[in-house]
Amino acid sequence: KAGVTQTPRYLIKTRGQQVTLSCSPISGHRSVSWYQQTPGQGLQFLFEYFSETQRNKGNFPGRFSGRQFSNSRSEMNVSTLELGDSALYLCASSLHGDEPLHFGNGTRLTVT
């Protein structure tokens, strides 16, 4: 079974721009969660999607949004990028959301 796939692996953007990250979960997994990882703040929960609905949300501003498609693939979008948004964005999937998570390799976003 293929693992969780995230694209792209690396991104460089300028302040004020917007970015879209993509995540394909393990086949059959319906829950997709997104995390932001930075050296100072560790792994911070962004949101979780299940069956195309946002089921959980972390404490991030509205500039961070996401969605899930009928095939369980998910995207997250960050608008009006700030320097502080530079981070590793990790996607994780599980069958229903209450099992251990399977993480992708992440997308490393650098905002200049």
The footprint of another protein (CB under 8 A) covers: 33, 35, 42-43, 45, 48, 55-56, 58, 90, 92, 97-98, 100-106
Q: How many residues does the chain have?
A: 112
**E-only strand ranges, 1-112:** 5-7, 10-13, 19-24, 31-38, 42-50, 53-57, 64-68, 74-78, 87-94, 102-103, 107-111
Query: Closest CB to another protein among 58 and 86?
Result: 58
The residue behind tokens 């209450």 is 98
The SS3 of residue 35 is strand
Query: Closest CB to another protein among 3 and 16?
Result: 3
Residue 9 beta carbon to another protein: minimum distance, rounded to whole angstroms: 11
Query: Closest CB to another protein among 31 and 72?
Result: 31
Residue 48 beta carbon to another protein: minimum distance, rounded to whole angstroms: 6
